[in-house]
């Protein structure tokens, strides 16, 4: 019980130090997501080896550049122009979260050229539009049904 109360006090202290810069929103609907993304300057995606994070594509579609762990499928989604990746080793046995100082450097890099990164994020996201994929599959299935 004593450890839990110390942990809660420590967490509260940390939140007090960033309260003027961080807003904890709680749950939100998918319909509310675009407006929330657009309030952000950058998406900080620290998940290691995330195979294909939808959150990254959603943020980029809203013109939000991404600072991320250079692992999994995220580098392919973001590319070099829509954000900055923090190096990560290739390891399937354990997670390697990015180091906070490296994340901070990456955020500063994006902040220095925020309009460029934001425009590139939006532009790059258009290449991941699902409609051409769906249209192509519809065409194939319709041909198969016709024989």
Are the CB atoms for 20 and 26 separated by under 8 Å?
no
Q: CA neighbours within 13 Å on the CB side: how many for 45? A: 32
pLDDT tens for each residue of 47-72: 999 999 999 999 999 999 999 999 99
Span 121-142, average pLDDT: 93
Nearest CA among 68, 7, 73 for reference residue 43: 68
pTM value is: 0.81
């Amino acid at each position: 019980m004593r450890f839990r109360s110390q942990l809660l006090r420590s967490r509260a202290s940390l939140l007090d130090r960033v309260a003027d810069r961080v807003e904890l929103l709680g749950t939100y609907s998918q319909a509310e997501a675009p407006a929330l993304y657009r309030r952000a300057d950058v998406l900080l995606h620290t998940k290691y080896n995330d195979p294909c994070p939808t959150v990254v594509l959603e943020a980029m579609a809203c013109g939000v550049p991404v600072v991320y762990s250079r692992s999994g499928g995220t580098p392919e989604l973001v590319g070099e122009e829509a954000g900055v990746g923090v190096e990560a080793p290739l390891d399937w046995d354990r997670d390697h979260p990015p180091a906070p100082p490296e994340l901070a450097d990456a955020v500063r890099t994006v902040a220095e050229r925020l309009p460029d990164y934001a425009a590139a994020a939006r532009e790059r996201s258009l290449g991941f539009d699902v409609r051409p994929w769906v249209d192509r599959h519809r065409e194939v299935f319709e041909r198969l049904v016709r024989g």
